[in-house]
Amino acid sequence: MAFDQTAETELRLIQQAQDGDRSAFGELVRRHYTGVVNVVYRLCGDAGLAEDMAQEAFLRAWLNLPSFRPESSLRNWLYRIAVNAALDVLRRKTEEPIENEKKQMVTDQAPGPEAAVIAKEQAAFLQQAMKSLPEAARSVLVLREYGELSYQEIAAVLDIPIGTVMSRLNYARSRLRELLKTQVLQMEYDYA
Amino acid sequence: MHEDMRTLLNAYMDNELHGTRLVEMKLHLASCEACREELKDLRQVSDLLQAAPSPEFMPAERFVSNLTLNLPRRALRDRPPKPGSLAWWLVPAGLMLAWFFMRTVFTLSGVVTVADATGLLGSADWLSGGQQAIWFEAAMSAFDGQAGGMQSTLAALNDVNILGVNLFEGFLWQAGIVLLYWGWLAAWWLQRGPRPMKVMAGPFHS
């Protein structure tokens, strides 16, 4: 019941925003901001950049909103725009170093209990490992793990067949597992 | 391990296997130590990804304020007809009504013609418009000199309007309506959501 009301409210907001209502669009952004910014952060690994990408994605969404079909999923549509916006930015920034990332790595090296340090190192390593994945595989993995989309939804968002979603996800997880195993071995060696 | 099997293990972990595939996978896992280990590893990777901390992002309120200030002017466009709206569903309903109307007209026309041919309507001269004359004459010429049975059959068919232009017109009308209906169906198919997941075939062996 509550879900129906939420969906109904969202549909009304979408129609108002399509008619040019900025406050209705603002409410839609408020609802989907966390999901979108989290997905783009996992794609790029930088919080500041992720906020910029999210802003770019919502601006594109605003401009294209009149062509959006309200009966389809707004969240999936926004994810599609966000992933494309993020990949565009990443392609432009491929060779540029990211300052925030360096700061993050410095923070991670702060002293503390050994378990916490290991966890932080592992999280930082994981983010780096994610970035080492090909864009196509990373996008599928991020939409599954952080966007919590079904295979069918991922296929629709990225406009690829479900079989491709499955094979890319398999590749991404297998690759990450290999990298993590290597890292665990390295850490065991370092702390021995 | 075969890549197809690993892909299926991923799908199983993500609750994307259903029906027979799910049952087969459960049975396979019960008997395959290697696949159980593989599944455990996959879950570990997924758990690690889920547990990875997120940084603190700009609060939503501030983000929305900044964004709405920067929203450009947008040219309003007419929205396409919304599937699900009354107008959208009136199209097939109208086509069905048109089909029923045409069928009724042609059926009644046939009944009246037969009734007239059998003399049930008396001497209704206004009904005999001679519409079948061309077809009838052509067919009779084609079978000229042949067995009299064929000519009498043609004459009978002509009487009940089978060879008449009505049959051809009726076909044209129905074909047109069917084509329009297919067009609407194609439009509905294109606008509907994503296609359902295809079941992936793959061997259950490691």
- Which residue from A58, A104, A145 is facing B49, i.e. has the nearest CB? A145
Q: Which residues of A touch B190 (CB under 8 A)?
A: none
Q: Which residues of B touch A167 (CB under 8 A)?
A: 3, 7
pLDDT digits (tens, 9 = 90+) for B94-120: 888 888 888 887 778 777 777 777 777
Contact check, Cβ <8 Å, A22/B71:
yes
Contact check, Cβ <8 Å, B72/A122:
no
- Would you state the pLDDT for residue A108? 44
Contact check, Cβ <8 Å, B7/A166:
yes
Asked whether residue B164 carries a pLDDT value surpassing 60, the answer given is: no
Asked whether residue B121 carries a pLDDT value surpassing 80, the answer given is: no
- Which residue from B52, B70, B194 is facing A127, i.e. has the nearest CB? B52
- Ranges A30-34, B61-65, B186-190: which has the least confidence: B186-190
- Would you state the pLDDT for residue A174? 92
Question: What was the ipTM of the complex prediction?
Answer: 0.78
pLDDT digits (tens, 9 = 90+) for A83-98: 999 988 888 776 554 4
- Would you state the pLDDT for residue B65? 92
- Would you state the pLDDT for residue B110? 74
Split at pLDDT 50, 70, 90, the class of B163 is very low
- Tell me the nearest-neighbour CA distance from B33 into chain A, angstroms: 18
Contact check, Cβ <8 Å, B57/A51:
yes
- Tell me the nearest-neighbour CA distance from B43 into chain A, angstroms: 10
Contact check, Cβ <8 Å, B50/A145:
yes
> Which stretch of DSSP H or E encloses residue A25?
helix A22-44
Task: Supply the pTM of this predicted model.
Answer: 0.61
Q: Give the residue-averaged pLDDT of A92-121.
A: 56
Q: Which residues of B touch A152 (CB under 8 A)?
A: 194-197
pLDDT digits (tens, 9 = 90+) for A116-167: 777 777 777 888 888 899 999 999 999 999 999 999 999 999 999 999 999 9
- Which residue from A26, A152, A174 is facing B194, i.e. has the nearest CB? A152
CA B77 vs CA A61, A143, B71, B82, B101: distances in Å: 15, 31, 17, 14, 38
- Which residue from A104, A123, A145 is facing B46, i.e. has the nearest CB? A145
- Scored b (16 or more CB within 10 A) or e, B160-187 reads ebebbebeeebeebeeebeebbeebeee
- Would you state the pLDDT for residue A42? 92
- Which residue from B7, B41, B52 is facing A177, i.e. has the nearest CB? B41
Q: Which residues of B touch A33 (CB under 8 A)?
A: 60, 63-64
Q: Give the residue-averaged pLDDT of A36-45.
A: 92
Q: Which residues of A touch B200 (CB under 8 A)?
A: 162-163, 166
